[in-house]
Structure 1
Amino acid sequence: MQQTVLKRAVFFIGGYEPKTPEVFFSRLFRQVSRFDALWGYRSEISPVDVTQNNEAGAATISTRAPEEHWSTRTDFNFLSLDKVVLRDFARPMPVRLFHYLSAFFDFWISGAAFHFFNKAWRFGLYFVYPFLVLMMFALVAYSAAQVTAQWLGAASWLVGVLTFVLALSVAGKRWSIHHLMDLWSFSLDFIRGRRADADATLQRFAETIVAKARAESYDEILLIGHSTGGLLMIDVAARCLSIDKDFAGSARKVVLLTLGSTALKAGYHPAGRKFRKSVEQLINADQLEWVEIQCLTDAINFYRTDPVAEMGLAPKAGQDFPVVRTIKVRDMLQSETYARIKRNFFRVHYQYVYANTKPYWYDFFQICCGPMFLSARVEGRVVGGLPKKEATSL
């Protein structure tokens, strides 16, 4: 039986951020060149084909290793949340602030936030970070109003309001508070089924994936979600199964891969019943595999948790679903690179999808462009393209 991947399809959803296919692939191509430099490979990349509505982009990456005598073609598809995110960003700031505060207190009242701190205290701190900064801005604004009250009297409240607005506009943008406020608002609205635009977008993603899986013969299909994209890709995978009950058998291996996923923010929430039903649908799909990658250094994930068990669900008897693996960012990067990024928790969070600067078993581009099936790479924690004994001519 063929042990290597000759042709693969990757479908990728990133986190909650505005990014067009052109911008995404520009970054991806730079990372591919670093991947080639590390491993001594040669990758050729096709021009990017962008859909008419700019919602998805695709490029073919053909990678070969002359010394190891293998070559793999990957059809890489980026599924863009750009329009959904920019629609949120365009709302007036008072509206964004109101929706954020409503979401923040909803996560507490529902009990979900207590699970965050109980299971992943670093994620809990990430959750409260925007609120604490807003409270700091409010305290500064209150102090400004108090200081000016002796001169302005009752009008000093205007000074307080202006101080808060200025702090939120300048420091809030610099510290990503605007972005994080919208992220939590979106997350809650999605969990509660209040995002018809996102639902329609994810349905189109699923239809695109199923259509491409039917049109081509692939050895491996990877459905990859990073960060909030992990939550959304779980939903998309369930939609694919609803469209085509045989979708999980459309390639030799169809694998859901979640990287630094925040899916448990939906899994823990009492209103996440529909989401948990989607996870049950994945459990019941016999041929579908799921790999979850987590990292201690990354604050924006639920380290050392089994997402299925945490949702009160159970895989089939004898089934390891998902396969959960932890990684160490410091082992993926040269010491000077790691020292530079380790205190930037957003940059650490992105390392899942960046090129390594040191050989390590977890390598995003070995997974996407290399010759091994993901399940075999994860099981054996294989470093490089192939285990040395398997590096034979194709």
Structure 2
Amino acid sequence: MRVKRRHIIYVQGYDPRGLAQYYRMFRSELRKFAALYGLTCKVGRPAADDARAASWTIDTQGPDWQTRTRYDFLRWEDLIKADLEWPIWRTVTQALGIYIRLIFNGVLTRFRKAHWRFAAFISYPEFVLTMEALLSLGAATLFAAGLRFAGLPLLITLPAAAALFIALLGTLLKLLESRTYTLYLMSDTIFTWQYAHRQRPDWDQRIEQFARDLVATVRSSDADEIVVVGHSSGSFLGLEILMRALELDPEIGRRGPRLMLLTIGGNLPIVGFLPVSDGFRARLKRLAAEPSIHWVDCQSRKDVMNFYPFDPIAGHGIDVGAARRNPKIVNVRFRDIIAPENYNAFRRHFFRVHFQFVMANEQPNAYDFFMMVCGPLTLCDRFAHPATALAIATGDPATRDQAWSELEEPPIGVA
């Protein structure tokens, strides 16, 4: 089937930048995508009915196809910015407490076994905090020694040194935040822990509303396919929205457009591995065997912020036997997407690597976020026939005709 209309529902991760910056990035990357494949793309301005979501349209024309995409951007930035306004002491103490609990309840060990790079990444803020605390402690110790040398008593020296230590540590954390992202990553950890423990009713209420919106969208849409896209922490948030919609309407995947879940750069275990997350694992189990919804999970070894290689079902200790339908796991090689002359610089920046999942390719590849958003193939066809999908995107007219005919031929034994 050639997709003429598509509806994307994009669920961002724990990112405070929000709509304005995301839209600018999207528009810029769309231009790169169009140039790479020689396509014509026209993107509309975002329209926002309220603070919860915004949408825009993209019209894309290729040599023998044309699609219109509605792109919904679900918003959390108001909730995230409120978290980032916490006092530094509150963020640091809560994050440290959670990290210690992750060690003692065995979750950090499970992270390490599933993907040691992610375990190292989630430990990174505590490592930076330790280094900055040691520097502050060294300065405070020298200051205390100077006070003692001047003849001041311990009753004055110790409180003064302690005050200096706290002031220096807070200053270092704040001054270096634009380089280290320590406080931001700690806030992300705190949010995930609180969300899993049902301590974030603000997020739960918004997920409930997004789920109701999804049900209404499926019932009224004329799209050929509807794709819920979850990037980073949006992977588990998107899954939660979709499964809540399925609870509201068990027939949601059996009527109207084909309904898809696409998780990219996902980190489901940061919720799923917690002992308290029985409900989340139950939803994973249901989705694994749900025949009416198709789920594709894209992972990359180079991205330290996702789990690779990881089976989102078996990795959580879930076994549905022969009933399993989901997900289709796709390995994304960024080396094949980024131009060779840029790859060494690219690989050194973990946030840049993580966001490549939603940015334009520098080289044509079967994995191409904007082809999934704007291209003529369904998500299922794209990953079931990656070579054919690439031939349609880059081949000459004869190659494209052959590729289309291969896709449009019915399976053997089907009239």
TM bucket (normalised to shorter chain) is over 0.9
Write out per-residue CA displacement over residues 319-345 of structure 1, whole angstroms, 9 at most, x where no aligned residue.
341111111111101122222211001
Does 2:136 align with 1:138?
A: no
Q: Take 1:358 and 1:23, find their aligned partners in 2: how far apart are those partners?
A: 24
Of 51, 55, 58, the match for 1:58? 55
Query: What residue number does 1:42 align with?
Result: 40
Q: What's the % identity of the aligned pairs?
A: 28
Contact preservation (8 Å) 1:366, 1:384? no
Contact 1:315 1:321 in 2 (8 A): no
Q: How far apart, CA to CA, are the structure 2 residues paired with 1:341 and 1:324?
A: 24
Q: Does 1:226 align with 2:223?
A: no
> SS in structure 1 opposite 2:322?
coil
CA distance in 1, matches of 2:34, 2:321: 40
2:28 maps to: 30
Which of 374, 380, 383 is the aligned partner of 1:375? 380
Distance in 2, matches of 1:379 and 1:256, equals 15
Extract unaligned runs of 5+ from structure 2. 148-156, 394-398, 409-415
Alignment of 1:265-280 (within 5 A): 265-280=270-285
Q: Structure 1 residue runs of 4+, over 4 Å off?
A: 384-387
- Give the secondary-structure state (helix, strand or coil) at the position aligned to 2:10: strand
**Larger-gyration structure (1/2):** 2
The one of 142, 149, 157 aligned to 1:147: 142
**Contact between 2:7 and 2:70, CA under 8 Å: does it hold in 1?**
yes
Unaligned runs of 5+ in 1: none
Quote the Cα distance in structure 2 between the aligned partners of 1:340 and 1:205. 38
Q: CA deviation at 1:118?
A: 0.9
| Aligned partner of 2:188 among 170, 174, 183 | 183
Structure 1 residues 144 and 383: alpha-carbon distance in aligned structure 2, compared to 1, 3 A threshold? same
Whole-angstrom CA distance in 2 between matches of 1:132 and 1:172 = 14
Q: Distance in 2 between matches of 1:310 and 1:105?
A: 23
Q: Between Structure 1 and Structure 2, how many residues are aligned?
A: 388
2:102 paired residue number:
107
- 1:248-287 counterparts in 2 under 5 A? 248-287=253-292
**Corresponding position: 1:288 with 2:293:** yes
Q: 1:59 is matched by which residue type in structure 2?
A: W
- 2:174 equivalent in structure 1: 169
**SS of the counterpart of 2:266?**
coil
What CA RMSD, in Å, does the superposition of the two structures yield over aligned residues? 1.7
Q: After TM superposition, give the deviation of residue 357 of structure 1 in Å.
A: 1.0
Do the aligned residues in 1 keep the contact of 2:114 with 2:315 (CA within 8 Å)? Answer: no
Give me the whole-angstrom Cα distance separating, in 1, the residues matched to 2:5 and 2:296.
20
2:233 touches 2:267 (CA, 8 Å); kept in 1? yes
Query: What SS does the corresponding residue of 1:24 show, helix, strand or coil?
Result: helix
**CA displacement 1:188-225 (0-9 Å, x = unmatched):** 01111111011011111112222122121221111110
Shift of 1:315: 3.8
Q: What is the letter of the counterpart of residue 327 of structure 1?
A: V
**1:195-214 matches, cutoff 5 A:** 195-214=200-219
Aligned letter for 1:62?
D
Answer yes or no: is the 8 Å Cα contact 2:289–2:323 preserved in 1: no
Instruction: Name the residue aligned to 1:158.
Output: 163
Q: Following TM superposition, by how much is the alpha carbon of 1:285 offset from its aligned partner in structure 2, in angstroms?
A: 2.8
Q: Give the whole-Å Cα distance in 1 for the aligned partners of 2:31 and 2:57.
A: 14
